[in-house]
């Protein structure tokens, strides 16, 4: 059982932070690189098993540091595909969910960045939780650590599309992405890491100003501001036109922004919506990811297949600049699909 403590949470620290900690403890700076590799490349949380560390460093880690931030509570496995949903308990007795999806040699992990969410998208199950807190970097990293250890297929892709709005936990999300990308960390290419946002414009601008190489996905989910404001209150601050404009201005060959569009029956799936969306993105060098809605116990429904096909036909016929893809979410039978993550289990001792 994890325990709350006043110990230093060293899991999630980057190399510079580890060097600083080592120096303060009287250890040579090169030990920081060794520790970094043990925690991230090897995924080791037991200092006793870090064989090339000095005994004094091992003693300090055991006495003063937290190296494991999450504890597995439950694993739910789909009966239809190689998809698993992991329920993790945090040290302060809250829960988060993470999803692992394997298809042939592709293994995608959907990472959570917050406990709950404050963006309040009306169709998203996570929004029903409200916001409890941001995850720390160690808690983000440990989701991947655990799944890497338990699933035989190597992790090929990471998507920050789980619980929470990643850009409202910007610094920690980007720090964890850097650890995932580092060759001495998880060693994943930048193009294999995708961060999804509901459209937090100041952080999108910061992402581009910092010249981040990770993929960016912006959730539009409507073809006009009236509809988007109804289902995504964030649109009242940062409307569609501003999101499309920043995607247009920063698009180039290897950095195409992805716009995501969840299809909701009777809300945003009409033929007029398809024409509006096509006009909105016309000439924008981007990807358009259409996501048929994954139903929860709420008021929204997935369009029938004919409506989906008609919507896609218009987008494809008028396609210029953007490229259309369809994401059929996996793990719907265990509520692991896009927009279905929400902790229904109360903490218990």
- Tell me the catalytic residues: 97, 338
Cα 166 from Cα 153, distance rounded (Å): 26
Q: What are phi and psi of 218, to 5 degrees?
A: -110, 125
For residues 349 and 337, give the distance between their C-alpha atoms in angstroms, rounded to a whole number. 29
Q: Which residue has the tokens 């209150």?
A: 233
- Contacts with 2 (C-beta within 8 Å, 6 or more apart), sequence order: 68, 69, 70, 71, 89, 90, 91
Q: Which residues in 286-314 are b (16+ Cβ under 10 Å) and which e?
A: bbbbbbbbbbbeeebebbeeebbeebeeb
Q: Which two tokens stand for residue 317?
A: 């016929």
Q: How far is the C-alpha of 342 from the C-alpha of 115, rounded, in Å? A: 9
Both structure tokens of 141: 């990293």
């Amino acid at each position: 059982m994890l325990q709350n403590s006043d110990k230093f949470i060293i899991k999630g620290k980057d190399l510079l932070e580890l060097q600083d900690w080592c120096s303060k403890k009287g250890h040579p700076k090169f030990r920081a690189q060794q520790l970094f590799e043990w925690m991230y490349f090897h995924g080791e949380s037991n200092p006793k098993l870090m064989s090339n560390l000095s005994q004094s460093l091992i003693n300090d880690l055991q006495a003063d540091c937290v190296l494991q931030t999450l504890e597995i509570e439950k694993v739910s496995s789909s009966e239809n595909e190689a998809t698993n949903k992991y329920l993790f308990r945090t040290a302060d007795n809250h829960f988060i969910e993470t999803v692992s999806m394997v298809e042939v040699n592709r293994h995608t992990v959907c990472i959570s960045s917050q406990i709950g969410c404050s963006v309040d998208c009306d169709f998203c199950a996570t929004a029903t939780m409200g916001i409890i807190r941001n995850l720390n970097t160690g808690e983000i990293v440990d989701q991947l650590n655990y799944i890497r250890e338990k699933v035989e297929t190597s992790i090929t892709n990471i998507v920050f599309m789980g619980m929470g709005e990643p850009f409202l936990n910007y610094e920690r999300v980007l720090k964890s992405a850097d650890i995932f990308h580092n060759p001495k960390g998880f060693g994943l290419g930048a193009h294999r890491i995708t961060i999804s946002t509901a459209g937090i414009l100041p952080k999108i601008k910061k992402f581009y100003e910092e010249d981040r190489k990770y993929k960016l996905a912006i959730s539009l989910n409507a073809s006009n501001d009236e509809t988007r404001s109804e289902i995504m209150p964030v649109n009242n601050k940062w409307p569609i036109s501003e999101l499309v404009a920043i995607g247009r201005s920063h698009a180039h060959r290897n950095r195409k922004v992805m716009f995501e569009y969840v299809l909701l029956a009777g809300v945003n799936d009409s033929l007029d919506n398809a024409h509006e969306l096509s006009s909105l993105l016309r000439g924008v060098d981007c990807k358009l990811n259409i996501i048929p809605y994954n139903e929860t116990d709420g008021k929204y429904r997935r369009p029938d297949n004919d409506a989906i096909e008609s919507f896609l036909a218009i987008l494809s016929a008028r396609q210029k600049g953007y490229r259309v893809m369809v994401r059929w979410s996996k793990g719907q039978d265990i509520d692991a699909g896009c927009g279905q993550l929400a902790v229904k289990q109360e903490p218990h001792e």
